[in-house]
């Protein structure tokens, strides 16, 4: 069995690294992480230049990877971010204030250009107050509207559509896209808290 050349810990198939520069030079994960941290601290400028160059050369690949990673680990990332924010709330708010000073008017311009997306995000925050299970993306909502030709499922007219929960959140309904149907505001308000599926 292989042993770490530094700490002499026995290595399994998953927790060892082989150095191509030095033949028969095996390291455990802890020793490898320590070495990389020391190297980064000593060669900070070189590492930053290399990272910047790599990001430029592989920008498209990195974007695709980040999108794929976000979709696969969406729930875990949200929980991790939430925990970090609760622990470091003051620091996060301070950084946000600094960013807003450096980029004045950015948020107002974004809200004006992305009015529908902004309203969608506001609704999602409102749904969380009901402790609703699940969530859905803005793209999923747009695809649902497209599926029904941007028509209200109750009156069958082309109007500005709103999200309606088939089983209302007050009655234990989820916030998954499968529980959402597009209705105009008047049909949505007249439906109220009834459980009616207009998709059928």
- The CATH number of whichever domain residue 163 belongs to comes to 1.10.30.50
Q: Is residue 17 part of a domain?
A: yes
Q: Is residue 9 part of a domain?
A: yes
pLDDT in tens, the chain (200 residues): 667 777 777 766 655 555 555 444 567 777 878 888 888 899 999 999 999 999 999 999 999 999 899 888 888 898 999 999 999 999 999 999 999 999 988 988 998 999 999 999 999 888 888 888 888 989 999 999 999 999 999 999 999 999 999 999 988 899 999 999 999 999 999 998 899 999 87
Q: Is residue 186 part of a domain?
A: yes
Q: Is residue 38 part of a domain?
A: yes
CB 26 within 8 A of CB 5: yes
For the entire predicted model, the pTM comes to 0.59
Number of domains in the chain: 2
Q: Is residue 148 part of a domain?
A: yes
Q: Is residue 102 part of a domain?
A: no
Q: Is residue 67 part of a domain?
A: no
Which residue range forms the structural domain that includes residue 24? 1-42
In order, the DSSP letters of the chain are --B-TTT--B--SSSEEE-SSSTT-EEEHHHHHHHHHHHHHHTHHHHHHHHHHHHHHTHHHHHHHHHHHHHHTHHHHHHHHHHHHHHSHHHHHHHHHHHHHHSTTHHHHHHHHTHHHHHHHHHHHHHHTTT-S----HHHHHHHHHHTTT--TTT-----EEEEESS-GGGT---SGGGEEEEEHHHHHHHTT----TT-
């Amino acid at each position: 069995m292989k042993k770490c050349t530094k700490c002499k810990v026995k290595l399994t198939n998953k927790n060892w690294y082989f150095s191509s520069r030095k033949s028969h030079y095996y390291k455990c994960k802890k020793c490898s992480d320590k070495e990389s941290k020391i190297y980064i601290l000593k060669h900070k400028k070189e590492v930053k230049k290399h990272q910047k160059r790599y990001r430029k050369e592989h920008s498209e690949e990195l974007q695709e990877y980040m999108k794929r990673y976000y979709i696969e680990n969406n729930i875990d990332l949200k929980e991790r971010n939430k925990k970090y924010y609760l622990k470091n709330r003051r620091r996060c708010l301070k950084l946000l204030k600094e960013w807003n000073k450096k980029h004045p008017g950015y948020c107002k311009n974004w809200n004006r250009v992305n009015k529908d997306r902004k309203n969608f995000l506001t609704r999602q925050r409102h749904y969380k107050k009901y402790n609703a299970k699940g969530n859905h993306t803005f793209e999923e909502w747009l695809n649902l509207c497209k599926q029904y030709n941007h028509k209200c499922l109750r009156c069958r007219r082309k109007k500005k559509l709103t999200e309606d929960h088939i089983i209302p959140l007050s009655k234990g309904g989820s916030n998954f896209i499968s529980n959402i149907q597009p209705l105009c505001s008047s049909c949505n308000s007249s439906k109220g808290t009834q459980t009616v599926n207009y998709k059928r």
